[in-house]
Amino acid sequence: MFDTINPVSLIITIASLAVIPLIAVTATSFLKISAVLMILRNAIGVQQVPSNMVLYGVAMVMTFIVMGGVFKEAGERFAPNGAIPDGGTQIIEAIDRALPPFKSFMLKHTRPDYHDSFYETAVKFQEANASVPVNKNDLFVLLPSFVASELAEAFLLGVLIYLPFVIIDLATSSILMALGMMMVSPMSITVPIKIMLFVAIEGWAKIFNGLIGSYLG
Sketch the domain layout of the chain as residue ranges.
Answer: 2-158
CA distances from 58 to 34, 48, 62, 98, 123 (A): 8, 15, 6, 25, 38
Are 44 and 194 a contacting pair, CB within 8 Å?
yes
Fill in the amino acid letter for 37: L
Which pLDDT score is estimated for 84? Answer: 65
**Per-residue pLDDT at 1:** 42
Is the confidence at residue 93, as pLDDT, over 80?
no
- pLDDT tens digits, residue range 172-206? 888 777 777 777 676 778 888 888 888 888 888 88
Which is more confident, 127 or 112? 112
Question: Taking 50 as the threshold, does the pLDDT of residue 122 lie above it?
Answer: yes
DSSP letters of 100-156? Answer: HHHHHHHHHTS-HHHHHHHHHHHHHHHHHHT-SPPPTT-HHHHHHHHHHHHHHHHHH
List alpha helices for 179-202, DSSP H.
187-200
What's the chain's average pLDDT?
81
Which position has the higher pLDDT, 131 or 68?
68
Which pLDDT score is estimated for 190?
A: 80
Percentage, residues of the chain above pLDDT 90:
10
Q: Which residues contact 93 (CB under 8 A, 6 or more apart)?
A: 85
Instruction: Give CA angle at 98 (97, 103), nearest 5°.
Output: 105
